[in-house]
Amino acid sequence: MASLPPRKSSTPSKGTKQSLSSLDVLLQMGFPQNRAEKALAATGDRGVQLASDWLLAHVNDPHIDEGDTRDFYLYMCPTGALLQQLTQFRRRVLTQCGRNGAHSLLPHVTLAAPFKVTHRQVGLLVDTLERTAGRCLAQLPDRWRLERYVSQNYMGLFIEEAQADVLKKMTAQLARELARHNIKLEAQTKSLHLTLAYQFSAAHFVQLEELLTLVDPTSACLWELRLYSRDPRLEGREVHKVLYAHVPREPDELELVVGDYVYVSRDSLQNSPDGWVEATSWLTGQSGFLPHNYIQPMAESDSWTLHRALPMSRSALSEELDGPPCRRQPLQHASSQERLRQSLSSLGSDTSLQETAERPRSVYDNVLVTDDPPAQAERPAARPAPLAASVDSSAPRQVWVARHGERVDFTYGSWIPFCFDEGGNYVQKDLNMPVTLRTRSDGPKGFAKDSPVTQVGRVQARLTGEAMKRHNVQVHHVYCSPSLRCVETAYFILAGMGMQHQLPLRIEPGLFEWLVWYSDGLPSFLSVSELQSWGFNVDAGYRPLVTVEELRDRKESCEQYYQRNHFVTQHALRTAASGNILLVGHAATLDTCTRQQTGHQPRSAVELRAFLGKIPYCSILAMEETSGGWELKDALFPPLTHSYNQRLDLALLK
């Protein structure tokens, strides 16, 4: 075969072309340079997709072209076991003593005073930080030693002086490097410490000191050097998280998206004459008025952007700096709204969930672009009265656990052939049966294992909700089994409380009953979209801890059933970091979701079966957090009791 002739030149391949920076791409897309630089700084320079989605979200931000700097913070932050203890301590303090100054930021050691950096210098700042940390690699200790300090107005953990000097020298070196680029950073010269509590009432000192035993300064911990930034508009304002969606009725009102953060001035909160406050949305940058109890206070740092996190140990930092740069996976094709929810998922630090060694995440993980609750359409054009649903931080946290109401199949036996004709059309054959039933995709047979509740079951649930409302029981998060009878019960409990349109149901298959009773297969549960089409207010953005598919592939013992429900309970408490929780499930749920949480061992299968027969329909109990853990509490309202009512037989009168 003839040999190939030599070529004088070759066409460069795609791989040899010089790659464009994110800024270059945004400029080619037509964005102005000042906006492109601002978007990259606000998103931690995580890529073009994230920056363009930020620009899309801020398209109506009236201040998008104002200012060219961000406020930056240099912290050393704990992870691992120590962080778990700190998180538990802060939650207990919040429940028993209320908020203090330490709740406004994530657990941290301040290495420098806040400083300003222009948007275009953020990349230079990150690179300089990495180089400086790398030069100090040999001086980093294997374990950072902490000492507990307590006074009448302050509690904290102080880094041993010799080790603190290593951090001070590193920060001073960083300040010198940045000064060459006209970036002014002032290194911390005082003792380096992690604040546990300050600005608290003297009356809480003894209680705080007792809670301090939850924190062991010698616990395992991998510290991280973190660089954060925030929007300068946050200066002098508090950060609050949006609990309920709101569609503006007046031109000066702010549209609210569940999970967004808003910046609110203290004066606006304290001096509001009508319960409405002016705020600025973190998601969009727009400002307007909103009902003050549609939001709840959060740590200011939850709304910050994390630019870089470096492990502060010799081996881990060396591996971090020598390894390839971390890149995010590209997003799959999606609609603009869905892509916005996906891509803006890791800007900041949701301190309420920092119980593992994972990097902080952002509120965008929880943002749901939802429709307004149906009740909004019924409101007058004038501003509606705010909901009485704000979290009382001074009250003990509670978990309410309820069984579903009376079910059709256990009341009437084989009811499906009796109530459905050959065409699958439903006819009410008893006043206690549902008046109507929606069509299921699997037909009437789908109700065989997934029964609805009776009319009495609805009344039971509504009466329970009304009693909870009369006795000022507050519920902020609702999780329920995917069984139709549980979804209906949860809905009508909330209807009794007047909250069925404000509190969405989180469908959690992990709350379904013991799988041993379904050896021939699980029910074909209604999907979230089907439940919504039936009129239920379901949280479409909730990601279940246990999926239906996992239940289908699982065989479990009685102990494993307890473990599954206990796991779901703990997950709900961690995910919903504040406020009270309502769990709606089955008869066993009252025990499986509370027994281990209150310090007891799971029951045996024999004990569980004996227990189930003693749990009436729509039974409900409360579990309350105390200084010593969780305890079962009697409900604040009377129980629900009624007699059996048999059918009238006309033959008796003839």
State percent of the chain over pLDDT 90.
58
> Rounded mean pLDDT of 43-70?
89
Helix 48-57 to helix 336-343 angle (10° resolution) is 120
Pair 277, 300: CB distance under 8 Å: no
* Residue 271, Cβ density class (10 Å: 0-12 exposed, 13-18 middle, ≥19 buried): exposed
The letter for the amino acid at 487 is V
Quick count: other Cβ atoms within 10 Å of Cβ 504?
24
DSSP string over 518-560: GTT----PPPHHHHHHTT--B-TT---SS-HHHHHT----HHH
So what's the pLDDT on residue 381? 35
Q: Per the residue annotation, which of 403, 458, 485, 595 is the catalytic one?
A: 403
In 3D, which of 585, 591, 615 has the Cα closest to residue 605? 591
- Would residue 246 show up in a list of annotated catalytic residues for this protein? no
DSSP 3-state of 280? strand
The Cα angle at residue 476 between residues 473 and 479, in degrees rounded to 5? 105
- Would residue 403 show up in a list of annotated catalytic residues for this protein? yes
pLDDT of 384 strictly over 80: no
- Round to whole Å and give the CA distance between 494 and 471: 14
* DSSP strand pairing (276-281 vs 146-150): unpaired
DSSP string over 341-375: HHHSSSSS--GGG--SSSPP--GGGT-B--PPPTH
- Would residue 404 show up in a list of annotated catalytic residues for this protein? yes
In 3D, which of 55, 41, 57 has the Cα closest to residue 255? 57
Show the DSSP H helices in 545-604 as ranges.
548-552, 558-575, 589-592
Confidence of residue 131 (pLDDT cuts 50, 70, 90): very high
Tens digit of each residue's pLDDT (9 = 90 or more) over 571-586: 898 877 678 999 999 9
pLDDT of 567 strictly over 70: yes
- Round to whole Å and give the CA distance between 590 and 582: 11
* DSSP strand pairing (305-311 vs 224-230): antiparallel
pLDDT of 649 strictly over 80: no
Spatial neighbors of 71 by CB under 8 A, at least 6 apart, are 114, 115, 116, 229, 230, 231, 232, 234, 235
Tens digit of each residue's pLDDT (9 = 90 or more) over 165-187: 999 999 999 999 999 999 999 99
Q: Per the residue annotation, which of 46, 92, 119, 404 is the catalytic one?
A: 404
pLDDT of 565 strictly over 60: yes
So what's the pLDDT on residue 436? 92
Q: 234: which DSSP letter?
A: G
Length of the chain, in residues = 654
pLDDT of 374 strictly over 70: no
The Cα angle at residue 492 between residues 486 and 496, in degrees rounded to 5? 145
So what's the pLDDT on residue 420? 94
Query: Which range among 138-147, 269-278, 561-570 has the greatest average pLDDT?
Result: 561-570
So what's the pLDDT on residue 20? 84
Query: Regarding predicted confidence, which is higher, 267 or 118?
Result: 118
Tens digit of each residue's pLDDT (9 = 90 or more) over 159-168: 999 999 999 9
Tens digit of each residue's pLDDT (9 = 90 or more) over 257-279: 888 999 999 888 877 777 889 99
- Tokens representing 634 are 């009697």
**Range in 79-88, 92-101, 254-263, 341-350 with the lowest mean pLDDT:** 341-350
How many distinct helices (H) and strands (E) make up the chain?
A: 20, 19
State percent of the chain over pLDDT 70.
85
Q: What is the mean pLDDT of the chain?
A: 84
In 3D, which of 73, 356, 415, 457 has the Cα closest to residue 234? 73
Query: Regarding predicted confidence, which is higher, 378 or 483?
Result: 483
So what's the pLDDT on residue 2? 58
DSSP 3-state of 515? helix
- Round to whole Å and give the CA distance between 55 and 51: 6
Determine which helix (DSSP H) or strand (DSSP E) holds 242, and give its type and residue range.
strand 237-242
